[in-house]
Structure 1
Amino acid sequence: MEKIDTVEKFEELVKSKSVFWLAKHSLTCPISANAFDEYKEYAEGNTEIDTYYLAVQDARALSNYIAEKYQVKHESPQALLFANNKIVWHASHGKITVASLENAVKEI
């Protein structure tokens, strides 16, 4: 799992990967911490799709950029599944679980 913190790094990622996960999380919110723990657990067991994350406090410009570019309301925590430069699945808060992330991958 790799941290992405700039628009430039994100755009390089979009160009180099056809499918990937990106999680947004807050460094100060306990709900976000729980969701991020689920995401990390999923990432550890996942070998198919690369996983990335951003900390909203460290990458607010990137978080806003993604929300605007892909027309998905910013939430934190938030898990986004990208395929071919589109968000094909997303969830926030308690809906981010290992099971929901695994099921999302089965749907694409």
Structure 2
Amino acid sequence: MNMKTRVSTIEQFENIKVSTSEFLVIKHSLTCPVSTAAFDEYEKFVNDHADVPTFYLYVQEERDLSNYIAEKHEIKHESPQALFFKNGEVVWNASHWKITNRSLTEAIR
């Protein structure tokens, strides 16, 4: 089963935090080549780790949510950006070229 779901509202995101103890969020820019490369790496990760719940958002379309996550968790917004949540808190994050299948795999260990 593919555990890749788009999240587009603050309410959806907060529900995920309450109902899912560990998950990954990817902030993806639809216009950035670096973000496209990072999203490709994310998709490889999803294919290799079907048991890990992952969520993604398009920063251009979900700007309110993207800003909310940055402010609420005190992590400077970047795009692309990967954030790993455990018990509602960000325990790992990376951006740009640091988002690879390998770095994502190491983050969840």
TM range (shorter): over 0.9
Tell me which residue corresponds to 1:84: 87
Deviation of residue 105 (structure 1)? 1.2
Secondary structure, aligned partner of 2:84: strand
Of 77, 99, 108, the residue aligned with 2:102 is 99
Tell me which residue corresponds to 1:44: 47
Q: How many residues align?
A: 106
Of 1, 5, 13, the residue aligned with 1:2 is 5
Deviation of residue 17 (structure 1)? 0.2
- Give the unaligned 5+ runs of structure 1: none
Tell me which residue corresponds to 1:26: 29
- Give the unaligned 5+ runs of structure 2: none
TM normalised by structure 1 equals: 0.96
CA RMSD between the two structures? 0.7
TM normalised by structure 2 equals: 0.95
Identity between Structure 1 and Structure 2 (%): 52
- After TM superposition, which residue ranges in structure 1, 4 or more long, deviate above 3 angstroms? none
Q: Which has the higher helix share?
A: 1
